[in-house]
Amino acid sequence: MSAPIIAFFNNKGGVGKTSLVYHLSWMYADMGLKVLSSDLDPQANLTASFLDEEKLEDFWPDGDHSKTIYGSIEPLLRGVGDIAENPYAEEIDERIHLIIGDLALSRFEDELSQQWPHCLDGKERAFRVESAFWRIMKRIMDRSSIDVALIDLGPNLGAINRSILIAADYLVVPLIPDLFSLQGLKNLGPTVREWRNGWQERLKKNPVRDLELPRGQMTPIGYVMMQHAEKMGRPVKAYRRWAERIPLVYSEEVLGKEYRLMEKREKGNQLGLVKHYRSLMPMAQEAKKPIFHLLAADGAIGSHQKGVSEARENFHQVALEMADRCDIAVPE
């Protein structure tokens, strides 16, 4: 069984999506899994979370994209070849590999838009373009014996994200309990179903037998409530008002009729709550570490140590719930 690819997506920005992917990458590594953390958001915030500015300059010199995601698709975009034979991934840790993000990736948007309808005409190039992200990840995953791949996407419903979601086996929706997240779910759900159905229709037109393509499964496995605020161990009133409405909206708009059976899960569709670790988050960003790796030397002293322990348990529980729903074997 191939390693699962999990996309983290919400067309509403500012919900903590990148932070969630970053922390879960480290958590799965701590749990003994090999992780491919894929920065496929043209804003490249995930890459900036992992790497300091000096390292970023090395990957983003003027005119050279050879070690970024854009470099891996550039020959295809220019019409002089296919994806890179040996796409690059930075080894952050012995268990974490990172596909380097690149602001130039936005140049791929128009080509993806143009090739999408050509798949229905059985055009080989169209299928190579639309499957590029999946084939890049698969080459890295096979080469590095990856156990799970996590993808950070931008907050929009454009052609780049359509192509990325086609590559995903599973979909996680990070959100915050507010009106905008509720509205975002109403846009996201129907669009994802439309993209899934559109790709299934196109798969039948693949003209090249030996061109392996993604299945376009993108099965929604649940949502993670981010920036969760508590008072005396309970959600504060302003958050609770919206949080109580999310389960029904998620069920109706994201799952739809074809996934009603998921309603029978004991824990419903919520994968977990991630608290708002106010003062610890900037501390972790400065140290280029996940919150649960912070030490006294990083400034995590006194009451902060309790927050570090809580964060470890918090992300560990989310990681376990995701692993269970995606059939990921976690080492004992």
Is residue 331, in this structure, part of any structural domain at all?
A: no
Residue type, 278: R
Task: Kindly report the CATH number assigned to the domain that includes residue 299.
Answer: 3.40.50.300
Tell me the per-residue pLDDT of 50-65, one tens digit each, with 9 for 90 and over.
999 888 888 887 778 8
Residue range of the domain that includes 211: 5-325
Total-model pTM: 0.93
CB atoms near residue 276 (< 10 Å): 14
Within 8 A by CB and 6+ apart from 49, the residues are 18, 19, 22, 285, 288
Pairing label, strands 96-99, 90-93: antiparallel
Per-10-residue mean pLDDT, the chain, length 332: 91 87 98 98 95 88 86 92 95 97 95 97 97 98 97 95 97 90 89 96 93 95 78 60 87 75 64 87 91 90 88 95 94 80
332 within some domain = no
**Phi and psi at residue 321, to the nearest 5°:** -65, -40
Q: Evaluate whether residue 330 is within a structural domain.
A: no
Domain count, the chain: 1
- What is the distance, to the nearest Å, from the Cα of residue 204 to the centroid of all Cα atoms in its chain? 27
pLDDT at 235: 56
3-state secondary structure (DSSP) of residue 42: coil
What CA–CA distance (Å, rounded) separates 64 from 79?
18
Q: Which residues pair with 172 in a beta bridge?
A: 8, 222
109-162 pLDDT, tens per residue? 999 999 999 999 999 999 999 999 999 999 999 999 999 999 999 999 999 999
In a domain, 130, yes or no: yes
Check residue 181 and report its DSSP letter.
H
